[in-house]
Structure formats: structure tokens, C-alpha cells
């Protein structure tokens, strides 16, 4: 296993290297690097606060990149090694690498490795989701139950969405027991115990931890659990996530077709393992388990958004769909287990998605870096055009599409997911303020609480332009400055 850890460590480094080289401040990083706060606890993630504060031995944090990324890489590599030891014993190193690296065959995962701070806490959550079944398969029952419940609570307290991967790993462990031809009674007891752990961990988190930590603010990017019209909410959210995946996962709006293809592979592989098990076992419990095995791949694909479906609104950010990594890993493992000995060389087909994902990470890293250069230059132009205005004296409002790096635009044609991975710091949300501050321009955000009129038509062409250049026109009225990338020509 030492050799597999070293190999997995090298491969994980290869995936994250372009993001290390890009060396950019990604969304929340702008605030944390400049002001030194943590503030994950109010989002219901108190263990993330504790983890980072323990690293600094202080409540005030500093930018220590790339150390959090390095630690995150070590966590992921070690967790994948344990996964391989548990799920792929006595398999050749080539098979171990091909199967485990499918965890990275998820372009949405790239957002996690883009953060300078969150990467450590999110990697810890991912690692625990992979270790859950590995650490709860042996020992006394009550120790397993306590350990499993503690892991589930810890995942919730680090990043709630990663619980979706844990559920998918439970499905993988279920098929592992069937593949090993364990008794139906033992498999059923294991499933019931893990369901009990999930319920206990969820109740502890929702009833004890979340109420004492969550800020209570229900925002679009931090939605709370839905309480009314739950079925309608689930259906609406499922539609939103399906559309998001379809538009961004692969080009030509083929995201759902790709996902259905992987699901078909998982279903066929799962059925193969189920038939083998049915040949060796009989009885009502066996039939119940076989029925569960038939529907399990469909539950797994449903768990890509999973717990997110219960929120008041869809959280359409790439990191929210980290569950896809778990589904890809499950599908690859099922394929490997289902192949008969004479067809084992087909496992090498997994190299295709792994290599393609590696290529994507490099395209993303370069696009991210080059767009950051464009953004920095644009901020300097805005600062120059507003040099007569005092800091924190005006609100910026944006209209139109800002200029993009040619490198980013070119890669976007191959990877539509870049449109949601590369932040737009010149639109009407909070983080343009933080990004500008990092570049030496301090102005205010026109949040709803300010009461500022954000109707673009109220400003554009109603006064004389305040500034104009190749990229934008600037309009100003009182304490509001509109940056118009459409460069509107007034009649």
C-alpha cells in the first residue's frame, strides 16, 4: 500500500498543480486573505472554523498558501489509499490508480482546489466520506456505530454537501459485500446499522449543532431546509440541477446524456454482481437485497445533488455537485468488479476519462490565471477613471459583459463548465467589492439593505458619461457609479 500511496500522491499533485501555479484569490479568499476571518461556523460548519483556527492557534488567520492545498492533497491521497485497501485488495497498482483517479473525473471538483483556505476543510470532508466505510467495517458493533455517527456529524460540520458522497460509498460497500458473497443476514444488518448511523448523525447535527451555530440568514447562496411544499421543492430543485449539469458538464449541452451513459454502465455492472450473488444465495432476504441492488445505482445518481434537493432553492455552484466524484468512483469500481477475468483488460478504458479530466484541470488552471490578469488590469483602469473619488464614497453597479481573456474564451468552447468555475467579478453581487479591494480600489457594494436603486436604465443615458474607454462607459449620479460594458450609445 505504500507504493499505492506514493503513486496516488503523485497523481493527485498532477491534478492540482495547475491551480497551485495559477496562484489566484478565489471568491471568499479575497475577504479571508485581506481581513483574516474564518466565518464558516455561521453557515453551520463549526468544525471548519475549529480546524483552521487550530492550524493558526488563533482566531485571526493569514494567507499561508499553498500550505492548505498541500495538506488537502495529502488528505485526499491518504483517503484514496485507504479506499483502495478496503475496496480493491490484491489488485494491481494499475487497477488501483485507474479506479481511484476517477474520483477526479468531475469538473465541479476543481472549484474545491481553487480555494486557498476552504481547500483544507473541504478536503477533510471528502477524505472522511471515503474513509467512512473503511473505518466502520470492523470491531465491536457499538464502536462501529459511535465511529460512524461521529464521522457523519464531522462531515456535516465541515461541508454538508459531502454527505452525498458518503451515501454513495455506503452503496459501494453494499455491493462489496455482495461481491464477496457474504451472508444475506449480515449484509442486511450492516445496511440497517449504517442507516441508523446516518439518522443519528443527521439528528445530532440538525437538532443540536446547526441551531447553535447557524446565523439564521436564509440567502440564495446559503439556503435553509425547505419546510413547505417539500415534494414540489424537490422536483423544482431536481430540474434545476439537471439543467445545470446538462449545460455545463460537457459541451453541446450533453451533460445529462453523459451522466445517463455512466449510469447505464453502473446498472449493468451492478446487475452482473447481483446475478452472481443470486446464484449462491436463496431466500426472502436475498431477494430483498437483490431488489435493493437493482435500484442502488439509480439512488447513487440521485445522490449527486442528494441532500441539496431538500433546500429551499437550488444551490447552483460547482462545489455543490461534488457528489459526482463519488458516483464516478462507484461506477468505475462496479465496472472493475463486474468484468470477468478474460475481460479485465477493459479496465484500461478508464484511462480515457482520467486523462481527459487531467487535461481539463490544466485548461481550467490556465484560463483562471489569464482571466485574473484581465480582471486586475480592468480594476486598475476603473481605479484610474475614478481617481478623484474618495474611497468608500460610491456604489458600483455593472451592466453588460466584461472583457474576457482570449485563453479563457478559447477554452470555454471545449469546457462550458468554465462559465461557472471562473468567477465574474464585474457583476452585481458581493465579491466584486472584495476583489477590487485586493487590487487597491475600495468602494461599497449596492446591497439590497442599502436601498440603492440598481435599475440600470435609471442611470444610463440619463446623465453625461463620467468616463469612457475601449471596455466600458461610466455613468455617475450622486453616490452611484454604473460601469456599462455595453458602451451604450444614447440617441
Statement to judge: residues 381 and 329 lie in one domain: no
Residue 345 included in any domain: no
Same domain, 188 and 125: yes
321 and 379 belong to one structural domain? no
Cα separation, 77 vs 83, in Å, equals: 10
Q: With respect to residue 332, please indicate whether it lies within any of the assigned structural domains.
A: yes
Can you give the pLDDT at residue 140? 87
How much is the pLDDT for 216? 62
* In a shared domain, residues 444 and 479: yes
pLDDT at position 227: 79
Same domain, 293 and 187: yes
d(CA 333, CA 175): 10
The reply to whether 454 and 318 lie within a common domain is no
Count up the domains in the chain and report the number: 2
Residues with Cβ within 8 Å of 433's Cβ and at least 6 positions away in sequence, in order, are: 396, 443, 444, 445
Q: Specify if 346 maps to a domain.
A: no
258 and 140, same structural domain?
yes
The answer on 326 and 373 residing in a single domain is no
**How many angstroms separate the Cα of 278 from the Cα of each of 55, 287, 338, 340?**
51, 8, 14, 17
Residue 490 within any structural domain of the chain: no
Domain-embedded: residue 175 = yes
How many CB atoms within 10 Å of residue 39?
A: 14
Residues 391 and 285 in one domain: no
Q: For residue 202, is it within any domain?
A: yes
Q: What grid cell was written down for 89?
A: 485488495
- List the domain range (segments joined by +) for residue 276: 2-338
CB of 175 closer than 8 Å to CB of 271: no
Question: Is residue 412 one of the residues assigned to a domain?
Answer: yes
Closest to 283 in 3D by CA, of 171, 183, 177, 191? 183
> Do 99 and 160 share a domain, yes or no?
yes
Q: Which of 424, 369, 244 is nearest to 318 (CA)?
A: 244
Q: How far is CA 230 from CA 33, 207, 216, 311, 369, in A?
A: 39, 19, 20, 9, 41
CB 34 within 8 A of CB 59: no
Q: Does 318 share its domain with 384?
A: no
Per the domain annotation, does 357 fall within a domain? Answer: no
Residues 285 and 323 reside in one and the same domain: yes
Question: pTM surpassing 0.85?
Answer: yes
Reading phi first (left if > 0) and then psi (alpha if -120 to 50, else beta), residue 256 is in alpha
Which of 305, 338, 371 represents a domain boundary (last residue)?
Answer: 338
Kindly state the cell numbers that stand for 350: 478508464
Peptide bond preceding 306 in cis form (omega within 30 of 0): no
pLDDT by residue for the chain (491 residues), tens only, comes to: 557 999 999 999 999 999 999 999 999 999 999 999 999 998 899 999 999 999 999 999 999 999 999 999 999 999 999 999 999 998 999 999 999 999 999 999 999 999 999 999 999 999 999 999 999 888 888 899 999 999 999 999 999 999 999 999 999 999 999 999 999 999 999 999 999 999 999 999 999 999 998 876 656 566 788 778 889 999 999 999 999 999 999 999 999 999 999 999 999 999 999 999 999 999 999 999 999 999 999 999 999 999 999 998 899 999 999 999 999 999 999 999 999 989 999 999 999 999 999 999 999 999 999 999 999 999 999 999 999 999 999 999 999 999 999 999 999 999 999 999 999 999 999 999 999 999 899 999 998 889 899 999 999 988 888 999 999 999 999 899 999 999 998 87
Rounded Cα distance between 431 and 405, Å, is 20
CB-based contact 122:335 (threshold 8 Å): no
Amino acid at each position: 500500500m505504500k507504493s499505492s500511496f506514493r503513486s496516488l500522491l503523485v497523481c493527485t499533485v498532477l491534478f492540482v498543480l495547475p491551480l497551485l501555479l495559477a496562484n489566484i484569490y478565489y471568491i471568499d479568499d479575497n475577504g479571508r486573505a485581506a481581513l483574516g476571518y474564518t466565518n464558516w461556523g455561521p453557515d453551520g460548519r463549526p468544525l471548519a472554523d475549529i480546524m483552521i483556527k487550530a492550524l493558526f492557534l488563533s482566531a485571526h488567520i493569514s494567507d499561508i498558501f499553498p500550505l492548505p492545498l498541500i495538506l488537502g492533497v495529502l488528505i485526499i491521497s491518504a483517503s484514496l489509499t485507504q479506499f483502495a485497501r478496503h475496496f480493491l485488495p490484491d489488485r494491481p497498482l494499475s487497477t488501483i490508480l485507474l479506479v481511484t483517479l476517477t474520483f477526479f473525473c468531475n469538473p465541479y471538483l476543481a472549484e474545491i482546489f481553487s480555494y486557498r483556505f476552504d481547500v483544507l476543510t473541504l478536503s477533510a470532508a471528502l477524505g472522511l466520506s471515503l474513509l467512512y466505510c473503511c473505518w466502520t467495517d470492523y470491531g465491536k458493533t457499538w464502536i462501529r456505530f459511535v465511529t460512524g455517527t461521529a464521522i457523519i456529524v464531522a462531515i456535516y460540520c465541515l461541508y454538508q454537501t459531502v454527505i452525498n458522497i458518503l451515501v454513495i460509498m455506503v452503496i459501494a460497500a453494499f455491493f462489496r459485500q455482495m461481491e464477496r458473497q457474504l451472508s444475506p443476514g449480515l449484509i442486511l444488518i450492516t445496511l440497517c446499522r449504517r442507516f441508523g448511523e446516518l439518522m443519528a448523525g443527521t439528528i445530532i447535527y440538525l437538532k443540536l449543532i446547526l441551531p447553535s451555530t447557524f446565523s439564521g440568514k436564509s440567502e440564495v447562496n446559503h439556503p435553509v431546509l425547505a419546510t413547505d411544499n417539500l415534494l414540489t421543492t424537490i422536483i423544482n430543485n431536481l430540474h434545476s440541477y439537471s439543467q445545470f449539469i446538462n449545460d455545463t458538464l460537457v459541451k453541446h449541452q450533453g451533460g445529462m446524456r453523459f451522466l445517463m451513459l455512466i449510469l447505464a454502465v453502473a446498472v449493468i455492472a451492478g446487475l452482473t454482481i447481483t446475478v452472481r450473488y443470486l446464484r449462491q444465495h436463496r431466500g426472502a432476504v436475498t431477494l430483498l437485497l437483490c431488489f435493493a441492488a437493482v435500484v442502488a445505482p439509480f439512488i447513487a445518481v440521485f445522490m449527486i445533488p442528494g441532500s441539496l434537493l431538500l433546500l429551499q432553492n437550488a444551490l447552483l455552484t460547482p462545489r455543490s455537485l461534488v457528489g459526482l466524484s463519488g458516483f464516478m468512483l462507484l461506477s468505475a469500481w462496479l465496472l472493475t468488479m463486474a468484468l470477468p477475468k478474460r475481460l479485465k483488460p477493459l479496465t484500461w478504458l478508464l484511462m480515457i476519462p482520467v486523462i481527459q479530466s487531467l487535461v481539463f484541470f490544466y485548461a481550467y488552471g490556465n484560463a483562471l490565471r489569464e482571466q485574473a490578469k484581465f480582471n486586475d488590469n480592468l480594476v486598475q483602469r476603473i481605479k484610474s477613471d475614478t481617481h478623484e473619488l474618495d474611497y468608500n464614497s460610491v456604489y458600483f453597479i455593472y451592466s453588460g459583459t466584461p472583457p474576457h481573456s482570449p485563453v479563457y474564451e478559447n477554452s470555454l468552447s471545449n469546457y462550458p463548465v468554465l462559465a461557472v468555475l471562473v468567477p465574474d467579478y464585474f457583476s452585481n453581487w458581493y465579491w466584486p467589492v472584495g476583489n477590487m479591494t485586493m487590487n487597491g480600489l475600495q468602494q461599497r457594494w449596492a446591497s439590497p439593505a442599502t436601498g440603492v436603486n440598481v435599475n440600470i436604465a435609471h442611470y444610463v443615458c440619463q446623465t453625461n458619461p463620467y468616463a469612457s474607454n475601449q471596455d466600458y462607459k461610466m455613468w455617475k449620479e450622486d453616490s452611484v457609479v454604473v460601469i456599462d460594458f455595453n458602451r451604450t450609445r444614447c440617441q
